Structure 1
Amino acid sequence: MNRQALVGIFTIVALAGLFGFALVLANVGTQGRYKIGIHFKSAAGLHKGALVYESGVVVGIVDQTNLIPDDFTVEVILAINNNVDVPRNANFIIQAPLTGDSSLEIVPVVPRPTPGIEGGPTNAPAAVAVLPREVLPIDQQPRGTNPATVQDLLDQGQGEVRRLDTMLAELEQREPKLLNTLQSALNNANDVSVTTKQAFTLLSARIDTLTSTLQVALASGSRNI
């Protein structure tokens, strides 16, 4: 075998190895994982390879995001580790930080334990229903929650400002009546104060008169004795 043949064989083997390595890299993202679909209003920055967390632990990645042409919503396909189950009633929330990549958080709803017999042990929580390990049709997929955008916050703030303007306008309309009522209350309080003062003055005068009369009577009685 000449030198050129050896070089050709080596080249073919090297190319085959590179091709196999490329196939491994292409499939490593979903190796040992199953896929589920979550329906979102928008992808909100999610991309293929974004991390998926369940209760704060990495349990998979985003495999793909598909735009639904009927209503322009998004189907997000997740690749979840085979050793992890996803509760059917969990909340699926897109976390979109100000810096860095977006991620998807699976937040299970913690079931409340059933109260046991008084004085006895508390019953264990019922089994949690989990999602099937397949991509369900769109109408059967869990609905995800998108993060609040800056526009959402601005709209909410504008709503609060409009409500404050309405309250101030109502207060401005009621202000004259409130001032009149307050002035009337002050006048009534002043009248009551004057009347009370006059009553105390009259009572004091009567007490003085009664005291003087009593002193005269005592003096007269002393002389008679």
Structure 2
Amino acid sequence: MPSPADGIRAGVRLTTRVFARLALVPFAAFAFVALTSAPTWSGVGYVSCLAVMLAGLATLPEPATSRPRRRGLTRGAAVGLFVIACLRVGFVRDGARLHVLDSEAPSGGSRIASRVVDEGDAALTTTRLLVGLGAVRDDASELPAAMRAAYNEMRADHGAVPSPLVPTYLGLQGREAFDLVVIDPPAGAPRPRGALVFLHGFAGNFDLPCWQISRALAELA
């Protein structure tokens, strides 16, 4: 005879399956946009692991009766997400001239959260979704391609660098603790006589506009 705990577990599994199946169609649309936005290796990995995790949740088996079923889709996908995040945290570093500095770090390094997600992956996917939903209308047809080209140029110039994007949207920026994007002048450039302080707008803090402004200033110098 099933115990009350078995009934609770069965209810949780049923609820999880229902919500996971309802999320399949919107997630498929998101995954299509993300994977056709020329993502980095980590972007492909994150989306793939999330797809496997959702598939595992949507196909949760009924509570074991006479023959238990061995499964590990959701757990395996969670491990995959953790491994990808650890690889990015371990290998993503400041560029030759672009630095993301944590105001609270004694050594001036970047936060762990700044290295988990590639800014270009997040920005391009979000931009294409907003354009597709009609939320962005000005230069909507040219915007995704222009952003993709700009991020490719920035990666060619600085490589895979940290970004204040995730800490900004997690609410980790404030007067006492904040991230600072610093871009040094090109090698061989005349000694700078000043610096430009670029304050981000309502969308949040990004590397790309800082890099674009610094490149424009270098061309004017």
For this structure pair, what is the TM-score category when the shorter chain's length is used for normalisation?
Answer: under 0.3
Higher helix share: 2
TM-score, reference length from structure 1 = 0.25
Structure whose alpha-carbon radius of gyration is higher: 1
